[in-house]
Chain A
Amino acid sequence: MAAPVLDIDRLRLDIGGAAVVDGLSLSVDEGEIVALVGESGCGKSLSALAVLRLLPDAVRLAGGRILLEGKDLASLDMSAMAGIRGRDASIIFQEPTASLDPLMPVGDQIAEALTAHRAISAQEARLRAREMLVSIGISDPDRRLAQYPFELSGGMCQRIMIAIALICGPRLLIADEPTTALDVTIQAQILHLIRQLVAERGTAVLLITHDMGVVADIADRVVVMYAGRVAETATAEELFRAPRHPYTALLLASIPRAGIMPKSRLATIEGTVPPPSSHGAGCRFASRCPLVEDRCRIESPPLADHAPGHLAACWHSDQVATLGAAA
């Protein structure tokens, strides 16, 4: 098997000495879409930013390796990183309008991504930008190239962001909640586009999302984070069919969907996520877990294999199935 495009190994991120991401390991293969899911504050977005070394000043990369095609991004200096961003690995964010320069026609912004990394004439870059728009299905590309972000809808701005992110043909695309700000019919268009581009170009995608519907739609594999740690990882199908971590099981059971009796009680997760400063030796989900026993509070469960490619960090993962049935 070929080496993964992205291989994160025991990543640790600190804020003021407290670990907000603690031992995150994941890999993304060529042409694969891996979803990193979890609720606000679980560390998923910081992990995404860490890959491109875009962390805010308060967050320190305190350990681990981030291998992009074998090169450790965690050890590179900032000027070397500037050469990587946009060329080998790109990122798109939730708010496409906030990510674009309001004072520059979008065509120039796409071309700039190219001229920043390649010895290429401005004219040639504009031509390539136009080709890019055509390839992502934008009709009337010449008019679009000349427009400013305020003239475009949110969905169109996100397409432009995708064009900027992909024009250099990066091996890795990080998509941080790419459709959260968009309407469902536009979300369907953007997810369709991402799926299509991955199939054509073999780009590896790390998709950050909290929306299990989006995960069910396009992810090949899923990594579930809770309070800075990986709770469970599995193929999308396996994760939804037979979750092995109580957090995953309750999260899935709390979503209203077809097949759940209308107005019936949805499963809930009582309590709140513990703050990073209070993490003790035990399992971080222990304070909210219905399966908790003494051992959980003392000893942190390791990520253990349950089936090929299906890992969960829980002492009681064999009892999780009963939890889902009760919920």
Chain B
Amino acid sequence: MSGVVLDVRDAAVHFRSRGGFLRKAAPPLKAVDGVSLAIAPGETLGLVGESGCGKSTLANAILGLVPLTGGRIEVAGRAVDSADRVSLSAIRSDAQMVFQDPALSLNPRLSIGAAIGEPLLVRGLATGQALRDRVASLLKAVGLEPDHASRFPHAFSGGQRQRIVIARALALQPKLVICDEPVSALDVSVRAQILNLLVDLQRERGMSYLFVSHDLSVVRHIADRVAVMYLGRIVETASMSVLFGKPRHPYTQALLAAAPEPDPVRQRAKPRRVLDGELPSPANLPPGCAFSSRCPLASDLCRSERPTLSARPDGASVACHHAEE
């Protein structure tokens, strides 16, 4: 497909455990198992799911931080090959990442100006005054003062540090920014500032976001389309309004029902449907549909045959044998 910023086709990341003396090799842990998705220029795709569903592994695989065991990932038309350092370096000028905890993403001994300028310096794109000017304009773009460049990360609050991390991610003018839980570690009022900033930056610069989050209210606010992951597979994708207005997969429905709304009247009027049980281990998946062990609609068919994603007229795709019931 041409024109897409990110094209993931049937990607798989399996972690194999090595057997040892007196110990049989365990079956591979299928963290990501046959995922396909694409992101258009300027689009935001929200990737949601609970811990252990493989959303962060997928984000890491896109940047070549973990090797693929199957399938193919292309960033701006270039295949990601985690073993090829030269091509990885090219990909990272097109795709950058913002992680959850800004305190852990910044080197405490590097001034923030040096941190933000490093990608430019490493690639020989700017030095001296030109570099300082670029850093100053990046700081301004994320709402910080240019003369803060000489300060160190400890001098900044959590929200400001996340702005610094975003400025660093923007330094190479990437086409895709992967945001892995970018506001989860922040206080509520600061969260709103960072979300506003991400929306503004996208309007100004037109890059795409892969927005990984477990927080549905945040995803509803920022995403154009949403993909829901469960145990390594995508169970539903749809435009934001279709997914939140008419969720089809029973897991999506359960997630939406479980996420408390910050409005007591609406929240208490919601039908209480508490999903039983817990996530099975991805190393030991049930045969058939991975959700069948917790699904209220599960039938014998679900326990024997894995449902595939099938497209619906409104652009949604759902992997469920009983989605219309």
Contacts and interface: CB of A to CB of B under 8 A. Distances in A.
Contacts of B3: none
B264 A185 contact: no
Interface in A244-271: 250-252, 254-258, 260, 262-263, 265-269
Nearest to B240: A262
Interface string B48-92: 001100000000000000000000000000000000000000000
B274 A257 contact: no
B278 to A, nearest CB: 5
A257 B261 CA distance: 7
Contact of B258 (A156, A188, A237, A266): A188
B274 A240 contact: no
Interface stretch (B16-24, B34-42, B107-115, B191-199): B191-199
Interface stretch (A73-81, A94-102, A206-214, A313-321): A206-214
A217 interface: yes
Contacts of B221: 256, 260, 262-263, 266
A272 interface: yes
Contact of B266 (A40, A258, A272): A258
B262 interface: yes
Interface string B241-255: 000100000000011
Nearest to A236: B264
A255 B188 contact: yes
B30 interface: no
A185 B157 contact: no
Given A216-B267, A262-B240, A268 B274 contact: no
A217 to B, nearest CB: 4
A192 B272 contact: yes
A88 interface: no
B199 A263 contact: yes
A217 B192 CA distance: 21
B310 interface: no
Main secondary structure of the interface of B (DSSP, over half): helix
A153 interface: yes
A189 interface: yes
Interface in A205-240: 210-217, 219, 236-237, 240
B222 interface: yes
Nearest to A153: B278
Contact of B191 (A186, A189, A241, A254): A254
A187 interface: yes
B260 interface: yes
B188 A189 contact: no
Given A155-B278, A210-B187, A272-B157, A216 B262 contact: yes
Given A256-B217, A263-B222, A213 B262 contact: yes
B325 interface: no
A214 B264 CA distance: 9
Contact of B218 (A185, A237, A256): A256
Q: Identify which of B220, B221, B264, B275 gathers the most chain A CB atoms within 10 Å of its CB.
A: B264
A30 interface: no
A263 B278 CA distance: 33
28 contacts: A184-B258, A184-B259, A185-B275, A186-B278, A188-B258, A189-B274, A210-B188, A212-B262, A216-B262, A216-B263, A216-B266, A216-B267, A217-B267, A236-B264, A254-B188, A254-B192, A255-B262, A257-B217, A257-B220, A257-B262, A258-B220, A258-B244, A265-B196, A265-B199, A267-B192, A268-B196, A269-B189, A272-B157
Interface of A: 39-40, 153, 155-156, 183-189, 191-192, 210-217, 219, 236-237, 240-241, 250-252, 254-258, 260, 262-263, 265-269, 272
